[in-house]
Amino acid sequence: MTPTTDDAQRLIAARVALTQQIDRGSVVLSSRLAGAFLNVPRHPFVPVFYRRHDERFLPWRRSDGDAEAWLDAVYADDSLITEVAGIHAEDAAPEGLPGVPTSSSTAPSLMADMLDALDVNEGDEVYEAGTGTGYNAGILCFLAGDRHVTTVDRTSALTDKARPRLGSVGFTPRVVHGDAARDFPGDATYDRIIATASVRRVPPAWLARLRPGGIMVVPLKGALAGGMVARLTKLPDGTAAGHVLHTPAAFMPLRSGPEQPAPAALVPDGPRTDAEVSSRVLDDWTFSFFAELHLPPGLVRTYGTNDEGLHVTTLYDPADGSAARIDDVPEGPPQVTSTGPRDLWGPVESAHRLWRELQRPRREWFLIEVTPTEQSLRYTAPDGRVHRWPLPPAAGAGPRA
């Protein structure tokens, strides 16, 4: 249906308001990036998305009543959940479903921060890992030119939907159904690589396919919520180096390789010992990225409230069966119950002590180095001492000074 003049003006006003909202935040938009958000509409890429209602996610369409509220939600600076438990919002029944979100449209301000770091120029060859809705790919098409953009997603339902949506706004990039950590067209190389899903470490193929002088922007995240976004530049020797952006980012993990069932957390039972700090420190995004450097790569974390309504966290490492449960109690220090061959909570407490000793360093003060064989995060303290952590850390590893 052809939009009316009022509809067209309302949609333009919505894009202008969103661009102004982004610019008023922590991202100072360049004229080209502002032009991208002004010219690429968001609503064609999220015709249906979920909104949470109690314990269920309900699909929301513009035709479901209040069209103005729907449009306000689309052009708010918020992430929009588009898939829950593998069910896309467009395919969900009206009564919705319970489950865990598995895909979303990223908050535009975070998109802008990452795209600003990527520094895309017209004619740059760009590879996007994680097509999702296609909205970020549309912005990349505006910046680089659509014939220079390749976007890859493992979920065929997403690529099949993104392709015509991109076409509806005038873009025809290469949209590929495949494993974004491994699948590249032929022997192509790229000036820019960006991921819209998190990884524990930079996939080797991304480093290999990035041209010398090229830039890569990658979210790094493990079991905890407060992930990092790294900006790396490919060096002439084939390595890459850069820094961590200031913005926390809790992207959903990139699906790569054979599908593995999610391990169920083991809840230990046994004698308790006193903890130095509450497990609530893991919910502090200013610390959780640092804690992640001290945790095993396959760690599973669950959290909630215990029988007394107080905070409880369970840590479980399926690699060797080690587990720890940390309970807040009404009075006195939190209590730790552990089982298995390794102590999972001790390294978190050690990390918290070190973080405090280093005067709570911010994530943007860390540098990252990537080679074909090693990846590490580095922090230089005011006294000149250099601390390094491998990505992902070996079990029980601490910094190398």
- Name the DSSP letter for residue 199: B
- C-alpha pair distances (Å), 11 with each of 33, 67, 109: 19, 12, 19
- Euclidean distance between CA atoms 329 and 166, whole angstroms: 53
Residue 6: strand, helix, or coil: helix
- Euclidean distance between CA atoms 392 and 374, whole angstroms: 10
* Residue 253: other Cβ atoms inside 10 A: 14
Q: At what angle do helices 5-24 and 67-74 cross, to 10 degrees?
A: 40
Contact 399, 389 (CB under 8 A): yes
- Euclidean distance between CA atoms 202 and 181, whole angstroms: 9
Q: Which of 26, 31, 103, 104 is catalytic?
A: 104
Burial of 75 (0-12, 13-18, 19+ CB in 10 A): buried
**E strands within 154-239?**
174-177, 190-195, 210-220, 228-234
Burial of 21 (0-12, 13-18, 19+ CB in 10 A): middle
Q: What is the 3-state secondary structure (H, E, C) of 202-266?
A: CCHHHHHHEEEEEEEEEEECCCCCCCEEEEEEECCCCCEEEEECCCCCCCCECCCCCCCCCCCCC
Query: Catalytic residue at 350?
Result: no
Q: What is the 3-state secondary structure (H, E, C) of 66-85?
A: CHHHHHHHHCCCCCEEEEEC
Give phi and psi for 296, each to the nearest 5: -65, 150
**β partners of residue 300:** 316
Catalytic residues: 104
